[in-house]
Structure 1
Amino acid sequence: MVLNFKLDASKLNWTIACKAAGLAMFILSLGLVFNLDFALTATLGVVAAGLADSPDFYQHRLQSTLLMMASFSLASISVTLLFPLPWLFAIGLFCSSYLFMRMPVLGQKYGAISLCSLIIAIYTMLGYNTYETPWLQPFWLVIGALSYALLSLLINALYPTRWLDRQLDQIFKQISLYQLTKTRLFQREANITDIQVKLTAQSADIAEQLGVIRHGLYVYQQRNKQHVGSSQMDRFFKAQLLHERLSSSHLDYQRLQRVLPRTLLADTRTVLVKIARVIGAKHLDASAEKELVSAVDDLETARANLKDVPPRFAYMLKNLHKVIALCFNEQHFPEPEQSFSPFTRISVKQYLSQAADISLSINRHALRMATLMLLAYGLIKLSGDEHAYWLMLSCLLVVKPNYHDTKKRVDKRVYGTIVGVGFAAALSYLRLPDIALTSLIPGLVLLFFLFFHLNYAISVAMITVFVAISLDLQGYPANEALIVRTLVTVIGALMAMAALRYLWPDWQHKQSRKIISQLFANTANYQTAIFNQYFNGDVEETTNFRLSRYHAYQSEAELVRHWQYMLAEPSHKQRLSPDLYQLVGLSHHLLSHLSALSTHRTELQSNQAAERLACLGELIQSELQLMHDYLLLKGPHRPIVQANNDAFTRAINQILPQLVGNELLIAYQLQLIGKDLKKIRQLLVNGKW
């Protein structure tokens, strides 16, 4: 269902929603006393400012506020000035849409403010004929936006880490759910393949959330340069470490289900479920640590009394001990004052110089959007209906850079509009007094922001009712406007889907080689970092090690999203999806087996083993580099990749007799890594790349 009410309240955007709803209540209360039309316009400014709210906004607070006010003023005043001049207006609309839609290359803050500037421009178009003096409208829109910005700055100054704390709480819940899913691998007759696919998707979600938190930490550090280390940073590093240890794979689960007794499988799953609950809990009971340690020790005792249990099961239990210790004890992270490096962004000069480069994906998206806005304006002028400007807003809010997100938005906007029109018609039938209708608006604003990112259909339904109430309060026939809104929403949906198909489309298969090769490069860096710690006898979470792990997991998440986005595209554009499905699974296996090596890293006891391990590390590096070059290079520079290459397997067999004790884990994991690399190589050779 599109309107799904089974929601986790912790995922709702309460901070922005409460700020916007509270301001709306205050402004409309004043409107009931002085002028309700001005109050409704100011409330639209609050809504636009709320949509522009992002963590980046608080990095340079004065600059961000001035930028928002300048952008909103420019957009609204330009519409008011050019609206009576259709040809000049059309030229300005196309150029401004193109330039504004390119703004995300300068940073998240600029992208959010530029998008909402276009929203303000469309609000100005919709309300142009409702004012006897049109120049009053830009003033009240900007006043509403300014009030939201000032309130946000005040709240952020009082609670600077609230957003980060919420995101960190969410990441631990996600890790807990990941662990709960993994417990199903210890169910008899479980579908291992389906579970591992779900685990891969959940791991990608965790990696993406870690990326969001990392960006928030960077913004927080830029504001507090005198104090870089923080409890939030420690929690972030702890989440990274938990993700690595829980995603590590020591076992062949198909074989494990055959050789492990039912009782041991059930007991193992029970312990894993308890650990998952501990990870997701906000408050921990100190006695629970002893209980979990005792339960894992009991599993080890049961394992030792059985002959057919693979030795790798013991290494998994050791990993569980480390996970339990990490959950209940403060973890020491070296270099606590480590500062995140700035994220990649371009200067204003580069922004202008790249404006005509149509090879850039962001430029194609901007050109597509500008063309769509111009076509929508042409249709509106032909229709002659002032309410048809909702068509432009529909196009602006549903068209995304990729086909997957656009299709998802289109469905929800259509359903949400229909539901909203139904609610609005019911309210119209009740004929409520103005004060009752006005009192509903803050609640609608609250629900709009609560669900905007979580369930867009609900947000669309709420804003549709808001629009109907506003028209009714201003004395306009709301029923007629709602019929037009429904029609233009459907037309906008069709235009959006057509634009993604035929106007400079960005199909996923064109990006496959680049995304996969980047995954190989980041996996190779992660493997090098792990092996270096084995050679140096260093088990500390150094900055270089953390960064290599972070980028490896981010690349895996990007590959998963790439495959998922491809599945939403037309069938004739999905020729790579079967191969990508296999690669997603294999890459997750490879990263899980490397993570297990990382989890148990220690100093090698044998010099000969260190030399052999260094040779194996070079083999892994050369294998990943070979596959990287195979995907990126063309013509005579492209290397030849053979489907079968047993050099790695032979090298592992040579190192096995030289390993003792815990070093045997290295051999076990290297055998699994060798199998992963062989399967990936065969997939590249036999695939449709």
Structure 2
Amino acid sequence: MNNLENIKKNTLRYITGLDFAKGYVLALAMVLPLYITNIFDILDIGIAMTLGVLMVAPSDVPGNLKHRLLGMLSAIVLGVLGTLLGGYSQEIFWLNLIVVFVFVFTISLLAVYGFRASLVIFTGLIAIVLSYANFGDIAIWLHTVYIALGSLWYILLSSLFLYLRPNKHTELLLGETAQLTGDFLILRGKLLFKENNRELLQDQQLKLQVSMNEKHEDLREALLSSRKASGVSNSSRRKLLIFIDLVDLLELIMAHPINYKYIDEIGEKEPSIIAKYQELIFEMSKQMFHISEVFIDNTKVSSSLNMSKSFKEIEALLMEEKSAVLDEPQFLFLQNIFDFELKQIEKINSIERVLKNINKRNKLKIQSKEEIQQFLTPIDYSFRNLTQQLSLSSPTFRHALRLAFLMVIGVFIGHYFQVQNAYWILLTLIVILRPSYGLTKERSKKRILGTFIGGAVAFIIVLFVQSQLVFMILGIVCLILAFSMIQKNYVGAAAFITLNVVFIYALMQPNILDVIQYRVIDTIIGSGLAFFGNFILWPSWESSFYKNNVVDALQANINYLKEIDRFYQKKGNLPNSYKVARKKAFIAMGNLSETFQRMAQEPKSKRKSYRRLYEYNALNYTFLSSLASLGTFIRNNTTTQASNAFDTYMEHIEANLYECIYKIEKKNVEMHPVSKEDLKRASTFLENETIRLNLQYLQKENPEQQEKLQAHRKEVQLISEQLKWLYEISLNLKNVAKSRKV
């Protein structure tokens, strides 16, 4: 019954969701010009306008309205240019090959300007591909004019849709982020028991964090850019408050001080305690899923009684004489975990309060545009950034060269073998080919599988149905479904695109089975070109480029470490520089994880640095988690003055990380000598301080004095453990760099 309910819920969510609505808008934008021009017997104009819609739609990326509009207008320029160059150069075959190579290579280099730019480039690629399609006898220049009009028509329609549903995209992002946070909590809960595969769970955590970083970046773009441009409404203020809580919650989850040695030892003595902690984490994840539904499905928010119950049960357990069974460090460790769980619950409750008080103005200090700008990831649009890519050492340059060369091969195959719809080969090529081998391989599989599925279904339908009206209706429905799935289910999207193509051709020619056959063959040829081209032509194996991401992650952790050190020394309000450093550390870690995932998809013979990158990835993630733990404790507790021992450890940790960077970059930098004796004295001081505070605690009978000492004990224990752990990880990172040729 639950499965049936989930299917119904997901189906309803899909139909009422943003992706389906965008697919519907795109289908409307394409079908309406065809319908109207067909009535007036000027179908050539309608076809050209439909192509314009198809070209500009990929560049319709939500976010900053100004960037969205400029991106789509730039796409029109590339679309017009590609159509004109492709159309007029076809009269001379060798000239056409040169034009295709130069145009594709040149615009592909623009991908250096980010994700939005890569989608604008895609418009230019589609334009030059579709210039090979014969859609009527209209003059090329006039055909191009109507393509531009069709593109402008789509911009108008999609902007109207955005005006009618201005907040839906942000709400969907918040809902998806809350859902991913719930997934992250589940993984953290499973890690508490050694019976589970902890290495596999940690790998899943890394992949999940990459997705969460992407959502956070999208939300920063959506919330902070609009706020910078137009001020703050009550709605955007509430969403920004929730986003801040979601970012803090992720830091708290990552900071969850899981010492597996302690966890396993406690689990052997008191397994019921660990089970209760896991139960609480799972209840928090359920509440995050509920919050996700509030955003996505527009349901009413409600508090979790089970979460409160689980929390109180753990609180009661810690109040009992469990410390008599557990060692003192183990018991304090459980109390520290309990404190972190409390902070996570407070963040979840904070999100609930904002959602419940939707009509009240929530207090939020409005920052200046300069402060907001710090939290946005800037893109360098300078010409210098483009010229720096003109080298085979640049993955962008290699991809542009590879794509241009393969496009020329595709044009040659279509011309030499007189392929019926040669542009299908080129279209498959530009859709599948990606800078990395792994992504191209995965997309090739999905494209071929989807095409086979779509072809098989189309064959069955065409075999039993001969109605033109049915073909037209099915073509429109498949178009909507295809574009609504293209981001999240590429196999399904490829299947529905194939169905749409078949039904469209079924309206124009009788031999539909030939269309299906050619569609499948052309898809296989295009996929084969993309796959083997990525393997043979100037391949960009991650083993050749991963070092920069390792260095970036280490440097980001150093900056985050410095901010934590500075805040512990000075106390006071949390500065923006701390939040920016935290954000950059999370993003750099996500980039490093993506690099590792891409390398894992490459052929074994090309994974020369796979084990090495795995070590850097795992150690860096552990280091970042420990940093988050240290920073979170200092932020959320009243702390004492930083000791000289703290400063000594910080100095040694930072020195180890810098030495690791210099080894990776092969720089001979003379390091400032650090005294091992100072480190030993710092370690001894922290151990003696722990013993001294424990003795004082046992001697005190006054509850107020005991409470004050207890807080100090927890501070010394957690900070001591984290400092020693951070030092050990930094030492391991340095040793990895020293012991291997990086």
TM-score, reference length from structure 1? 0.90
Which residue matches 1:547? 580
Residues 60-107 of structure 1: CA deviation (Å, up to 9, x unaligned): 565445333332222223323222222222221111101221222334
> In the alignment, does 2:23 pair up with 1:17?
yes
SS of the counterpart of 1:186?
A: coil
> In the alignment, does 2:651 pair up with 1:618?
yes
Structure 2 residue corresponding to 1:667, chosen from 720, 737, 742 = 720
- Paired with 1:640 and 1:15, the residues of 2 have a C-alpha distance of 60
- Paired with 2:114 and 2:229, the residues of 1 have a C-alpha distance of 16
Which residue matches 2:294? none
Quickly say closer, same or farther: Cα 1:126–1:605, change in 2 above 3 A: closer
Q: What does 1:325-474 align with in structure 2 at a 5 Å threshold?
A: 325-329=346-350, 336-337=367-368, 338-341=371-374, 343-347=377-381, 349-350=383-384, 353-354=387-388, 356-474=390-508
SS of the counterpart of 1:250?
A: coil
Which residue matches 1:653? 684
- Paired with 1:684 and 1:572, the residues of 2 have a C-alpha distance of 22
- Paired with 2:557 and 2:684, the residues of 1 have a C-alpha distance of 23
| CA shift for structure 1 position 430 | 2.5
Is the 8 Å Cα contact of residues 112 and 386 (structure 2) preserved in structure 1? no
Which residue matches 2:280? 271
- Paired with 1:157 and 1:418, the residues of 2 have a C-alpha distance of 39
Residues 198-244 of structure 1: CA deviation (Å, up to 9, x unaligned): 22332232223222322333543454267797333322221110000
> In the alignment, does 2:673 pair up with 1:631?
no
- Paired with 1:567 and 1:196, the residues of 2 have a C-alpha distance of 15
The amino acid of 1:298's aligned partner reads: A
Q: What does 1:160-559 align with in structure 2 at a 5 Å threshold?
A: 160-187=166-193, 189-221=195-227, 223-224=229-230, 230-260=237-267, 261-282=270-291, 283-286=300-303, 288=305, 290-291=308-309, 293-302=311-320, 304-308=322-326, 310=330, 311-329=332-350, 336-337=367-368, 338-341=371-374, 343-347=377-381, 349-350=383-384, 353-354=387-388, 356-475=390-509, 477-538=511-572, 540-559=573-592
> In the alignment, does 2:103 pair up with 1:96?
yes
Residues 657-688 of structure 1: CA deviation (Å, up to 9, x unaligned): 34642322101211222232233233333345
Residues 232-275 of structure 1: CA deviation (Å, up to 9, x unaligned): 33222211100000111323224423323222222221111111
- Paired with 2:95 and 2:656, the residues of 1 have a C-alpha distance of 58
- Paired with 1:662 and 1:391, the residues of 2 have a C-alpha distance of 65
Is the 8 Å Cα contact of residues 56 and 76 (structure 2) preserved in structure 1? no
Quickly say closer, same or farther: Cα 1:485–1:242, change in 2 above 3 A: same
Residues 439-473 of structure 1: CA deviation (Å, up to 9, x unaligned): 12221122112221212121111111111122221
Comparing 208-217 and 88-97, the one that deviates more: 208-217
Quickly say closer, same or farther: Cα 1:501–1:82, change in 2 above 3 A: same
| CA shift for structure 1 position 291 | 3.8
The amino acid of 1:160's aligned partner reads: P
| CA shift for structure 1 position 138 | 3.3
| CA shift for structure 1 position 352 | 6.3
| CA shift for structure 1 position 383 | 0.9
The amino acid of 1:571's aligned partner reads: K
The amino acid of 1:300's aligned partner reads: L
| Percent identity over paired residues | 19
Q: List structure 1 segments (4+ residues) > 6 angstroms apart after TM superposition.
A: 5-8, 226-229, 638-642, 644-647
> In the alignment, does 2:738 pair up with 1:685?
yes
Quickly say closer, same or farther: Cα 1:462–1:347, change in 2 above 3 A: same
- Paired with 1:216 and 1:77, the residues of 2 have a C-alpha distance of 35
Is the 8 Å Cα contact of residues 377 and 392 (structure 1) preserved in structure 2? yes
Is the 8 Å Cα contact of residues 604 and 663 (structure 1) preserved in structure 2? no
- Paired with 1:192 and 1:356, the residues of 2 have a C-alpha distance of 43
The amino acid of 1:423's aligned partner reads: V
SS of the counterpart of 2:643?
A: helix
Is the 8 Å Cα contact of residues 72 and 117 (structure 1) preserved in structure 2? yes
| CA shift for structure 1 position 295 | 3.6
Which residue matches 2:113? 106
The amino acid of 2:426's aligned partner reads: M
Is the 8 Å Cα contact of residues 458 and 502 (structure 2) preserved in structure 1? yes
Is the 8 Å Cα contact of residues 12 and 451 (structure 1) preserved in structure 2? no
Comparing 197-206 and 89-98, the one that deviates more: 197-206
Structure 2 residue corresponding to 1:600, chosen from 628, 633, 651 = 633
- Paired with 1:22 and 1:241, the residues of 2 have a C-alpha distance of 41
Quickly say closer, same or farther: Cα 1:424–1:138, change in 2 above 3 A: farther
- Paired with 1:374 and 1:168, the residues of 2 have a C-alpha distance of 43
- Paired with 1:110 and 1:281, the residues of 2 have a C-alpha distance of 36
Q: What does 1:579-598 align with in structure 2 at a 5 Å threshold?
A: 579-598=612-631
- Paired with 1:287 and 1:572, the residues of 2 have a C-alpha distance of 51
Quickly say closer, same or farther: Cα 1:351–1:673, change in 2 above 3 A: closer
| CA shift for structure 1 position 371 | 1.0
- Paired with 2:304 and 2:258, the residues of 1 have a C-alpha distance of 30
Supply the RMSD in Å over aligned alpha carbons: 3.1
- Paired with 1:572 and 1:414, the residues of 2 have a C-alpha distance of 25
Q: Mark the runs of 5 or more structure 2 residues left unpaired by the alignment.
A: 1-6, 292-299, 355-362, 691-711
Is the 8 Å Cα contact of residues 24 and 43 (structure 1) preserved in structure 2? yes
SS of the counterpart of 1:654?
A: helix
Count of residues in Structure 1 that have an aligned counterpart in Structure 2: 680
SS of the counterpart of 1:69?
A: helix
- Paired with 2:339 and 2:88, the residues of 1 have a C-alpha distance of 70
